[in-house]
Amino acid sequence: MTQPQAGSTVPRRQLGRYLAALRMKAGLSVRAAAKAMDRSEPTIWRIETGKTSTRVPEVEAMCRLYKADAKTTEMLTALAKETKAKGWWQAYGDVLPEWFDLYVGLEAAASSFKWHEPELVPGLFQTHAYARALIEADIPGLDQQELERRVQLKITRQAILARPVDRPALQVVLGETVLRCPVGGPSVMAEQLDALATMSAELPNLELRVVPFGAGLQLGKIAGRFEILRFPASANGEESEPPTVYADLFTGALYLDKPGEVERYDRAFADIWKNSLTPEESRELIQAAAEDFRHG
């Protein structure tokens, strides 16, 4: 299985933040910068938010416009070259939505996850059959080749769970609904739950918990599905990327990285974690649910 690499996403977002900071320090609005660069405002916005890569000459021109010194210009042009690197997921560009491309790059670069999933098994832990059933329900009528490519994209992402170095630390909380919803039918669910139980027992970097139905009202009911991704420090000891909250929607996604937003989701996760079963109790519940599907 191909090992996911961080690819261009993190350098792209770093470059965007640096350029935005330089522009603001120079006292220029996005509109003024776009006019001076003979670019559209959306183009400048996409560069500054890391949603597109940027050519070296364009970065040099922006540095001149923003009156950046030679050392800063050299650093940013080097970063611009990194944004052209392609992650493994680019091979799936035909089945990868643009809004999810950013997430997969961040996922591959993250050093830790706090993950709340109240309804469905998270993509990183889905079996082939479970993933296939979800995709078929989401996009009916796909031809078999495209269906298999979409499934394979999910399966390939799972390499980060057991990569030889820099495995991310994962704290994952599932709602009990995840264990009871018969996605794909009883046999598919039994296989999926067996896989979850095995991963929770064997992966040292994974702590998997379940919030039982009896836990009552806790912030997970209000916050819904979300992930908090954190990233390793760069060579100079600074964060390579700010903590980011990701929440996917039916036709897109939210990426939140303001400190206040992240702090609020951290508090929500702490409350969900407090109301969950221990890893051992959770594994027992998962195994019991698998038996129910097998013999029910």
> What is the pLDDT, as a whole number, of residue 271?
94
Bridge pairing between strands 112-117 and 169-175:
parallel
> What is the pLDDT, as a whole number, of residue 5?
39
pLDDT, averaged per 10 consecutive residues of the chain (296 residues), comes to 45 80 91 91 86 84 91 80 60 62 80 95 95 92 91 89 86 97 96 97 96 84 90 67 86 84 95 96 98 91
What's the CA dihedral at 233, 174, 4, 157 to 10 degrees? -160
> What is the pLDDT, as a whole number, of residue 8?
57
Q: Which CATH architecture has domain 94-295?
A: 2-Layer Sandwich (3.30)
β-partners of residue 170 are 113, 206
Report residue 167 CA to chain centroid gap. 15
Q: Where are the domains of the chain?
A: 9-82, 94-295
90, 142 contact by CB (below 8 A): no
d(CA 132, CA 138): 10
β-partners of residue 228 are 114, 245
Q: Distances from the Cα of 221 to the Cαs of 20, 56, 121, 232, 288, in angstroms?
A: 36, 46, 17, 30, 24
177, 116 contact by CB (below 8 A): no
d(CA 14, CA 49): 9
Whole-prediction pTM: 0.74
Cβ neighbours of residue 175 closer than 8 Å, sequence gap 6 or more: 117, 118, 119, 210, 211, 220
For tokens 């690197």, what's the residue?
A: 85
> What is the pLDDT, as a whole number, of residue 2?
34
φ, ψ for residue 285, nearest 5 deg: -65, -40
> What is the pLDDT, as a whole number, of residue 239?
64
d(CA 82, CA 64): 20
What letter does residue 236 receive in the DSSP assignment? T
φ, ψ for residue 14, nearest 5 deg: -60, -50
> What is the pLDDT, as a whole number, of residue 6?
42
For 280, the token pair is 């051992």
Helix (H) or strand (E) holding 220: helix 219-223
Proportion of the chain in helix, strand, coil states, percent, rounded to 5:
55, 10, 30
> What is the pLDDT, as a whole number, of residue 287?
98
Assign domain 9-82 to a CATH class: mainly alpha
> What is the pLDDT, as a whole number, of residue 278?
97
